[in-house]
Amino acid sequence: MKHLTDIEFVNLVDGGEGLAADRRRHLETCESCNRHAEALRDALREAQIDRAPEPSPLFWTYFSARVSDAIRHETPVAAFSVGGWRRHPFAEWAIAASIAVVVMVAVVWRATLHAPMPGALSATVTTVSPAPQAADASNAQPAADDVEADEAWAVVRSAAEGLRWEDAHAIGISAGPGAAEGLALELTADERAELARLLDGEMKRSGA
Amino acid sequence: MDRTLDRLWAGAEPRPGWKVSVTPDAAESEAGSADLTAASDPDLVSACLAGRREAFDVIVERHQRQVYHLCYRFVGNHEEASDLAQDVFLRSYRALGGFKGTSAFATWLYRIGVNVCLNRMSAKGKTPRLGTLETVDPVDTRAERADARLLRGERAAEVRAAIAQLPNKQRATLILRVYHELPHEQIAGILGSSVGAVKANFFHALANLRKRLQPDASSPS
């Protein structure tokens, strides 16, 4: 007959469901299982020796006041939490749509304000576009404009500033596989050039 | 006196430019707090989300002991345990909108607590910094001899150090089962495991604990 399993040992030592009748019969005759069960009981008794010291009764009053004070400085959960937003039926779509609109407006605005960079596109564009017209990875990269001074990009950054990745991901704003490439393929050449320039500048700014 | 004032107020006519506002008196505020004290955890969460921050104070008072002791088991000293416990409550407050009520609130809170503790352990290393005996010893030591008390304290320190060396899930399972006496089903909900996995973890936790405390003895694993 098979020895007791891990779960059966726990049921035996730690209470709970107990053992089936045939397993109890095995235990009555199996010295190895009895030895193991006793070892587990010893370990349990040892663990139970360590009783955590109880803080002073005054501590609890102080602690709850301390937490209450910390909460007071938090944004009220009902007003601004993403959890609160999620209760609204269209909130998730509204957030996703507004961020998408802001990004596209920024890209189009930049493309219409500035002429596209002639000739040398960065290596980033060559990985996004399958057949860039004037791509020449061997050319030196053009000097990027100061992205910090770019108003459109500032709009995009400020819109996304308060949004944590975890919150965005929790409400469904996340890129699926191939999403970035798919979106880039739908852009015009001017828009792709502009996107590449913005990404380049952002990477340089963050030191990547 | 009160009736005199009532008659005076009843007879008073508001003058142009007066602004009349009604503020709840102390009795009314106390009544509001009393109904929160008796409210269930889900009702307190709803009240908090509706704007009544004092509802979260009741939640803290109700669960602070469990949260503190959970944190204490992971870090081993009072100062870090109280900091960590405050962190647990802050995170739970921020995530309150995400409490769906599919599990008990205590289970949800324990889940946050375990994650916060395990993250802190990962950041700082597993070995807890054991605190001094400045807090109240729960065991009545008046009848205990000094040498027995010393031995008990030393053995408890060994046990705590051995538990600190366990893998995360085994450690969390053992803490929740032995020191918080939670049923296996609730532990499964807290750790996101099945009941079978919880029992298996508990088995291995005890076996490993035995191995560390008595390395020469035979071990079940």
Mean pLDDT of B96-105: 91
For residue range B147-205, what is the model confidence (pLDDT) as tens digits? 777 777 788 888 999 999 999 999 999 999 999 999 999 999 999 999 999 999 999 99
Angle at A47 between CA A45 and CA A49, to 5 degrees: 70
Show Cβ contacts of residue B218 under 8 Å, excluding neighbours closer than 6 positions.
A35, A39
User: Which of A3, A8, A46 is best to mutate for the B interface (most B CBs within 10 A)?
Assistant: A46
Question: Looking at residue B7, what is its pLDDT?
Answer: 47
DSSP A17-81: T---HHHHHHHHH-HHHHHHHHHHHHHHHHHHH-PPPBPPHHHHHHHHHHHHHHHHTSPPHHHH-
- The CB-side HSE value for A103 (13 A sphere, CA atoms) comes to 14
**pLDDT tens series, chain A, 208 aa:** 789 999 999 999 986 667 888 998 999 899 999 999 999 999 999 999 888 888 998 999 999 999 999 998 888 776 444 444 555 556 666 667 777 777 787 777 777 765 555 554 444 444 444 444 444 444 444 444 555 666 766 777 666 666 666 666 666 666 666 666 677 677 888 888 888 888 888 777 665 5
Question: A30, A38 in Cβ contact below 8 A?
Answer: no
Token pair 């469990």 in the structure block, residue: B66
Is the per-residue pLDDT at B27 higher than 90?
Answer: no
Is the per-residue pLDDT at B217 higher than 80?
Answer: no
A31 touches chain B (CB under 8 A): no
Q: What part of A 32-51 touches B (C-beta under 8 Å)?
A: 35-36, 39-40, 42-44, 46-51
Interchain CB distance below 8 Å, B220 and A36: yes
